[in-house]
Structure 1
Amino acid sequence: MIQALIVDDEPMHLQGLARHVRWESLGYARPLTALSGEEALALMREHAVDVLVTDVSMPGMNGIELAARAKEIHPGIQVLMISGYNEFEFVQEAIHVGAQGYVLKPIKVEEVESKLAAFRTALEKLRLIEAETRALREKVSGSLDAVKDRFAHELIAGAADEGMMASWKMLLDLPELRTGVRIVVFGYDRFMDGGPDAGSRVMRGAAFFKVVGVGLSDLPSVIAAKVWPEEVIAIHPNPTAGENAKMEKQIGFIQGIMEEQYGSTVTVGISNVYGDWRDVQLAYKRVKFMMARARLIAGGQVLHEDRLDEPDFQDYRVREEFIPAIVRMLEESDDAAKAVEYAGNVIDMLQLDHSVSYLRAFALGLVSELARKPGRQEAGEDESHVGVMQRLLDCGHAALIREEVLGFMSRYAAARRDERNRRQHHLIRRVLEYIASHLHENVTAKQLAEQHNINASYLSVLFKKETGKTISECIQEMRINRAIELLQDPAVRVYEVAERVGFQTPAYFSYLFKKITGRTPQEYRDYYYDSQG
């Protein structure tokens, strides 16, 4: 049964709701009752309360404050506000603290029952989701295959740092790497043969994983994991010569079964042995590149990493990985130092196996890519790109190329950051000016975004970053500050102050003013006059 709590400082209203609502037929237990917010909080600490029905206007702690405190005790609680004020601001405030429903006095029992029925449906769905989530969590935690899949994904994504590896070693009982680790990637060559629908692909993927698992069952130290529906990776720590021979034999068995049963070939890539678990990320990239190139000719091949075309792979990484990663880090991150450090590491790595001419080509490619970014000419940087390229062409030593590129990146990042900050500052200043001149209106974030031709969510993020406040907080603060100024003029009545700063009713203005300043508007005015002598 669902447990409700009714809170109202008027005993007659309290008992009326408790008696006249058909609680039992709605699936509710007999409701708890309280005459104040403080009494209600004490009950909520003792009982599991699912639904809070509270009056807004009560002495001491009002209903809005009670709802906020109730959410802290029972985060999933459903809140129904009852008020005699037909005021939009109270509705806004109630929604802000998490109320799911709002009804006005005089109360109609049918309306309350309708809200309670909706709450029951919402609570049932929440409980179902929680139960399914718990079941899924238990299922995943109890599934060794799922754990292995996650481990493999973290390795090839480079997400397994030293701390994570310590956890994985304990969870999967991984051995210490005495001789290193090798990976074998099995790729289904014509995966769409299973049909275009998701069900067929899932079934084919499950069958593929099963065949690989059976084929490798005689190698207990191998961890087989499903990377994609059409791809399985076998992670082999400390491979011995005998195990390598057995692996080669089982590869043939797997390829034969897949072709016989499903009519498709399987391409297999075998890496070299690497000395650290974290090297699996690079091994995977190298093997995948090798497999992609081989498939252009024919599927069903068995490929060894020691036959990889190193120059082709390095060119691929520079073109498809290193330069895009550096550009993305400069464009998307405020941490230019991280991008510069990464670029320096790439240059250091490349110069070990490449000539100065190759490094120069890499540097020119990076600068050229940055030069094509929109808005650079507007920032007056076109000449600097040309100048850098000319100086790179004149560089005859790797250290000079490194210095020129990293210096340019630092200047590029600084100029872009300054330009972005300047534009953001000007935008937010215009927004603040608009708010200040329209305080008497009900301005929303959506309207501000439309007024300034910007996405509403993005504007909200920029506004908080620039001012330290949300848009609604800032509007509220500006309204109260303007109200304080107006209250100092005895010719302006309190209700006129409320209207001039955008509050629809004096009641909500008084409530919010006291909440922020600690005094009602009249108390503040009296205090101001007294302080003036």
Structure 2
Amino acid sequence: MRALIVDDEPMQIQGLLKHIRWEALGYRTPLTARSGMEALKVLQENKVDVLITDVAMPGMTGIELLARIQADYPQQQSMQTVIISGFDEFEFVQEAIQLGAKAYVLKPVKTEELEQKLEALRTAAEKKKRLEQETALLREKVTESREVLLERFIKDLTGGWIHSDELLDSWRRLLDLPAGEWQATLFLFDCDSLHLHHSHDAKEQILLGEGLQNAVKLGLDGFSGAYIGTAGAGETAVLVLEAVPEVRARLEKQLSFIQEVLHEQYNASVTVGVSREACSWTEIPLLYKEVRHIIADARLAAYGQIAYCDRHLLNEYHDFRLREEYIPEIVRLLELGENSKAFGMGLLSELARKLKRNQDTDTETNIRMWQRLIDCNGVEEVRKAVLEYLAHYTQHKQKEQTTQQHHLIQQVRQHLAAHLQENLTVKQLAGLYHLNSSYLSVLFKKETGQTISEYVQETRMNKAKELLRDPGIKVYEVAEQVGFQTAAYFTFLFKKTTGTTPQEYRDYYY
């Protein structure tokens, strides 16, 4: 560090040179000047880290010296200043601080006090220098590494931190992203073990996270429209832009490969969530939230699935947001008390209009709630009325959703009963009704108390019992009609279920 002492009293300069432990504090022998003009000449020829100047000097005061440095010496802008002043000159110190002075000491100068100031300034300068070096290295690394840029871009985009077209345009230029609006799909890979077993091993978490991302990069190598990054802990996100159906189908074939790699290398399962298609970049933070909900729902049925977004799952997610996000926010706004009645009326109007659009309108209830809201006095009454209507609205929607789910499962059961000869997979069955396979499994179990395979097996056995009562139908023909490829396996499963072989069952009745 290099210091410059400016004082019009030679004894003051000599005292500071002699009594301050410059070398021990990390400073070279200071430069000196006896006036402001002389100090400016020194600064013109030397890089100075710390300026120690008296306030009251003839010709040019310490304040004027600081002002000149700030205006005319840009190369010295990082210089830190210590002001020396008398007790009655404190108003000058205030002005000096406004000009960037970092510290001041009163006359007569105490050696220990000034040494403390100098040490603090050196520490601050070293930290600042280290930060500048790290920033320069980071800037160089960011400029050179596309992967680092992608990591930040995906994290910011899915997290909702990209909040303007201008900011997105700067990312477009940096990563050479497509112009205009995007047709975007989000694929989210989530390592099950990190969430389900709550690992407390930092090394395991790092290895699994890195392993997952490497597997995704390997699996999707060659897909130019796929942008890979990290969204959350243990999550790798892939944003696919402007993918034609053929490319997307080819990409989806790689999902199982990625799951297999993680299982072979780390004995870990991965659940993959595939979003709906978005038509604007502003929807991507919502896609991320929706896909996380899809993954959580898929895990209720089994781990390591590939879960696709569908209308029913989105309805469930929006119900969840209504309960967990919107209603608490509505309550907060009502409790603020500003225009609460107008806010309540606007909200009720929107809900009533939505019910009317869906032909679910309850005119009598709506009229009662409007009248009650008009008669409200004070925030608390408005709050209570709005929350009651929200409860009514939510109950109505839940009842509607339950009815829809009941009809849906009834259709699925009828289809299974009519196609017992076909060995449909859950994925094929879900595709017939445009559903996510994991969602269908969970919904079926919730409605019937059985898994789909349990229901199919029970239905096949019941149909087999019915057919066996006809002596004209041979046992192997019964097996074929209820979907078994071999009579032997049918006989084994029938006896396991009923306690008798098909022939014994027939002999018992006939």
Common topology (TM > 0.5): yes
Q: Structure 1, unaligned stretches of length 5 or more?
A: 369-376, 396-533
Q: Which runs of structure 2 are paired with 1:69-468 in the superposition (5 Å)?
A: 74=76, 76-85=78-87, 99-107=101-109, 112=114, 115-158=117-160, 159-176=162-179, 180-191=183-194, 195-306=199-310, 308-326=312-330, 355-356=360-361, 380-385=378-383
Gap change, CA 1:333 and 1:174, over 3 Å in 2: farther
Per the alignment, residue 49 of structure 2 pairs with 50
Q: Structure 1 length normalisation: TM-score?
A: 0.58
How far is 1:280 from its partner?
1.8
Cα distance change on mapping 1:260 and 1:76 into 2, 3 Å: same
- Kindly state the Cα deviation for residue 119 of structure 1 after the two structures are TM-superposed: 3.5
Residues of 2 paired with 1:250 and 1:77: CA distance?
A: 58
Contact 2:192 2:304 in 1 (8 A): yes
Q: Secondary structure at the match of 2:133?
A: helix
1:189 offset after TM fit, Å?
0.9
Write the letter of the residue equivalent to 1:135: L
Q: Secondary structure at the match of 1:228?
A: coil
Q: CA deviation at 1:225?
A: 0.9
Asked if the contact 1:68/1:98 (under 8 Å) is kept, the reply is: no
Task: Write the letter of the residue equivalent to 1:323.
Answer: I
Cα distance in 2 for residues equivalent to 1:333 and 1:292: 37
| 1:183-231 Cα distance to aligned partner (Å, 9 max, x none) | 1111111116694143442232112211111111132321111112311
Q: Secondary structure at 1:190's aligned position in 2? A: helix
Query: Are the structure 2 counterparts of residues 162 and 248 from structure 1 closer, same or farther at C-alpha, using a change threshold of 3 Å?
Result: same
User: Cα distance, 1:53 vs. partner?
Assistant: 0.9
Say which SS state the counterpart of residue 228 (structure 2) adopts: strand
State the identity %.
Answer: 40
What is the distance in 2 between the residues matched to 1:226 and 1:210? 11
Q: Is the 8 A contact 2:187 2:237 kept in 1?
A: yes
Q: What's the CA shift for 1:329?
A: 6.6
Distance across 1 between alignment mates of 2:46 and 2:200: 53
Distance verdict in 2 for CA 1:79–1:11, change over 3 Å: same
- What is the number of residues matched between the two proteins? 378
Counterpart AA for 1:172: L
How far off its partner does 1:272 sit?
2.3
Deviations 1:37-74 (A, max 9, x none): 56546754664321011224445765467568767865
Structure 1 residues 4-38: Cα deviation after superposition (integer angstroms, max 9, x where no partner): 12121323323543566565675544533333456
Retained in 2: the 8 A contact 1:194–1:201? no
Tell me, in whole angstroms, the C-alpha distance in 2 between the residues paired with 1:59 and 1:20: 25
Residues 352-377 of structure 1: CA distance to partner in whole angstroms, max 9, x if unpaired?
A: 6684469x99xx9xx99xxxxxxxx9
2:337–2:379 Cα contact (<8 Å) kept: no
> Partners in 2 of 1:145 and 1:345 — Cα distance?
49
Q: Does the CA-based 8 Å contact 2:181-2:280 persist in structure 1?
A: no
Amino acid of the structure 2 residue aligned with 1:289:
H
Structure 2 CA distance for partners of 1:191 and 1:123, relative to 1, 3 Å: same
Instruction: State the alpha-carbon separation in 2 of the partners of residues 255 and 203 from structure 1.
Output: 16
| SS of aligned partner of 1:209 | helix
Q: Root-mean-square deviation (CA), in Å?
A: 4.7
* Distance of aligned partners of 1:296 and 1:97 in 2 relative to their CA distance in 1, 3 Å threshold: farther
Q: By how many angstroms is 1:107 displaced? A: 4.3
- Show structure 2 runs of 5+ residues with no match: 394-510
Listed one character per residue, the Cα deviations across residues 444-479 of structure 1 (whole Å, up to 9, x for unaligned) are xxxxxxxxxxxxxxxxxxxxxxxxxxxxxxxxxxxx
Report the alpha carbon displacement of residue 128 of structure 1 after superposing the two structures with TM.
Answer: 1.9
Instruction: Give the letter for the 2:379 counterpart.
Output: E
Q: In the alignment, which residue of structure 1 is the partner of 2:7?
A: 8
Is the CA contact (8 Å cut-off) linking 1:182 and 1:237 kept in structure 2? yes
Q: CA deviation at 1:234?
A: 0.8
